[in-house]
């Protein structure tokens, strides 16, 4: 599903980033799921474990976790405890939405900034099993995911919550198209 041309340009760009991030997170978890069994196979069946599967699987897990978390935030799929806030008066609920968005922006900005500093500080180091891979590269998903989350927070603040749009709820459309009583 492509972004709608009737949406503001910023939202269209966020749609593209969201789709790219979803694909990156999805590919990362698939590759991680393929690499881990290879490491188990070489260790327990062949008797000599490969050195590369664990660090590469951890790298993919970082991508899946931090890039996927940004997507979950935009889609409203993150954990949110609303039991108390839903019982508050509407003006107070609106204020708390602003507070939550401000805190999300603050935390995302902090993680993006300090995550970038971490990547730069560790770029000259290498992983012992994969000497060609800088340690800083393994941390890159942290500031990238935080920056993506920050962009989604800005979008939410200025263009509204996007979590109810079809792009974020495609699975519900698929369920609605399923034949009655079928799977």
**CA 154 and chain centroid, separation:** 16
The confidence score (pLDDT) of residue 172 equals: 66
Render each residue's pLDDT in the chain as its tens digit; 183 residues: 555 668 899 999 999 999 999 999 999 999 999 999 999 999 899 988 788 898 999 999 999 999 999 999 999 888 777 778 888 999 999 999 899 999 999 999 999 999 999 999 999 999 888 899 999 999 999 999 999 999 999 999 999 999 889 888 766 666 665 555 544
Phi, psi of 8 (to 5 degrees): -60, 150
The pLDDT of residue 183 is 47
> pLDDT value at position 51?
85
> What is the pTM (predicted TM-score) of this model?
0.85
């Amino acid at each position: 599903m492509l972004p709608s041309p009737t949406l503001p340009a910023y939202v269209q760009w966020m749609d593209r980033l969201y789709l790219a991030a979803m694909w990156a997170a999805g590919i990362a978890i698939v590759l991680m799921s393929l690499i881990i069994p290879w490491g188990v196979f070489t260790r327990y069946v062949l008797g000599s474990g490969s050195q590369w599967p664990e660090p590469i699987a951890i790298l993919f897990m970082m991508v899946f976790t931090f890039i996927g978390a940004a997507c979950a935030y935009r889609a409203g799929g993150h954990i949110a405890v609303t039991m108390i806030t839903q019982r508050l008066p509407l003006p107070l609920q609106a204020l708390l939405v602003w507070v939550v968005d401000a805190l999300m922006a603050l935390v995302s900005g902090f993680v993006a900034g300090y995550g970038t500093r971490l990547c730069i500080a560790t770029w000259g180091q290498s992983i012992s099993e994969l000497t060609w891979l800088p340690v800083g590269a393994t941390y890159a998903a942290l500031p990238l995911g935080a920056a993506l989350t920050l962009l989604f927070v800005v979008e939410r603040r200025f263009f509204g919550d996007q979590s109810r749009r079809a792009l974020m709820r495609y699975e519900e459309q698929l369920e609605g198209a399923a034949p009655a009583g079928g799977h």
